[in-house]
Structure 1
Amino acid sequence: MIQITDSMLGAFASASLYSKEGKGFEATVIAKFFMPFTSAVWLVTEAERQKDGDWIFFGYCHILEWEWGYFTLSEIAELELHGITAEVDYELPEGQTVDDCLKSFFFER
């Protein structure tokens, strides 16, 4: 189960949708979701709470390939593959950019 912390809520509030437009790989990552034992990862750069309480995010994601896009917290939370569910990377260093995260994956774009 994905637990959103108070610090994550603060980061979400300071990075509304479209607030980092044009920054691309230099945008600061405010949250990282991943599925253990898979290559699935979501690097969140922008967030906005929806009227129904869900969160819509924008960021750089990998399922089969890397791409920029929109996704919701409920979509990530509903994913399940052979009992494996998505998790939050609570160890994400503050202030990392998308580029920094990719380098930490031993990956240069």
Structure 2
Amino acid sequence: MITISRELENAFGLSPLYSKEGQGFNATVLAMFVLPGTSACWMATEAERQPNGDWVFFGYCHIHEWEWGYFSFSELAELDLHGYVVETLRIQPDKLKVIDCYNAFQKVAG
């Protein structure tokens, strides 16, 4: 089951939506979410808690192709592909940029 640790919540609170606008591939990744057994990947660069407690993220994502976009924690938590569920890869905030994570993911996922 996908979870958000207190450490990630704190990091998310420091990077609200639109805070990294214009940084593109140089934006730091707060967390990376993956669906094992697939090439699906979501790199969250910005996050904002909603009044209902859900989190909305902005980042670089891959499902069928790479694109920038918004996604929510609840959407990720609902994904289930024959028993495979989304997992959180913990990233040290301010350590890796989108381009670093993208290049590493390409090596693994091909």
The TM-score, its normalising length taken from structure 2, stands at 0.92
- d(CA) in 2 for partners of 1:93, 1:102: 15
Match of 2:89 in 1: 89
Structure 1 letter corresponding to 2:101:
C
- d(CA) in 2 for partners of 1:32, 1:15: 15
- 1:6 deviates by 1.1
Match of 1:31 in 2: 31
Tell me, what secondary structure is at the counterpart of 2:70?
A: strand
Structure 1 letter corresponding to 2:68:
W
Match of 1:11 in 2: 11
More helix by share: 2
Match of 2:62 in 1: 62
1:21 pairs with 2:21: yes
Identical residues among aligned pairs (%): 56
- 1:93 deviates by 4.4
Structure 2 letter corresponding to 1:88:
T
- d(CA) in 1 for partners of 2:76, 2:14: 21
CA RMSD, aligned part only?
1.1
Q: Which structure 2 segments of 5+ residues have no match?
A: none
- d(CA) in 1 for partners of 2:56, 2:103: 26
The TM-score, its normalising length taken from structure 1, stands at 0.93
Match of 2:99 in 1: 99
Tell me, what secondary structure is at the counterpart of 1:67?
A: strand
Structure 1 letter corresponding to 2:69:
G
C-alpha spacing 1:93/1:11, structure 2 compared with 1 (3 Å): closer
Structure 1 letter corresponding to 2:4:
I
- 1:99 deviates by 0.4
Higher relative CO (Cα under 8 Å, sequence separation at least 6) belongs to: 2
- d(CA) in 1 for partners of 2:53, 2:67: 26
